[in-house]
Amino acid sequence: MIKSLFRDAIRYRGTLLLFCACAFILMLPLHFPLKLTKSATQNLILSKTYKVVVFNRVPKTGSTSIVRIFETLSKRNDFRVYRIAIFNPRQFLNPLSHKTLVEEVREISKCSKLLVHGHFFYINLRRFSSTIDHVYINCLRNPLERLISKYYFVRFGDDHRPNIQRRGMTNDSLQAQTFEECVEVGGKDCAPKLLWVQIPFFCGNAAYCNIPGNPEALQTAKRRLVEEYLLVGVLEYFNEFMELLAYLIPDYLAGIEQTKDVKIGDQPLWHLRKTKSKAPVQQKVREFFQNNTIWRMEDDFYEFAKSEFLSRYQRYKYSPFDRANWGKSVFIRAK
Question: For the chain, what percentages of helix, strand and coil (3-state, to nearest 5) are there?
Answer: 60, 10, 30
- Active-site annotation holds for 98: no
Catalytic residue among 119, 134, 160, 271: 119
Residues in the chain: 335
Say how many C-beta atoms besides its own lie within 10 A of residue 258's C-beta: 11
How far apart CA 75 and CA 133 sit, in angstroms, is 21
How far is CA 29 from its chain centroid? Answer: 34
- Active-site annotation holds for 134: no
E strand or H helix at 191, and its extent? Answer: none
**Cα-Cα-Cα-Cα dihedral of 282, 285, 291, 296, to 10°?**
-80
How far apart CA 26 and CA 11 sit, in angstroms, is 24
- Report which of 114, 135, 110 is spatially closest to residue 71, judged by C-alpha positions: 114
Query: Which amino acid, 154?
Result: V
How far apart CA 70 and CA 115 sit, in angstroms, is 8
How far apart CA 91 and CA 9 sit, in angstroms, is 83
In angstroms, what is the C-alpha Rg of the chain? 27
Catalytic residue among 117, 134, 160, 271: 117
Active-site positions read 117, 119
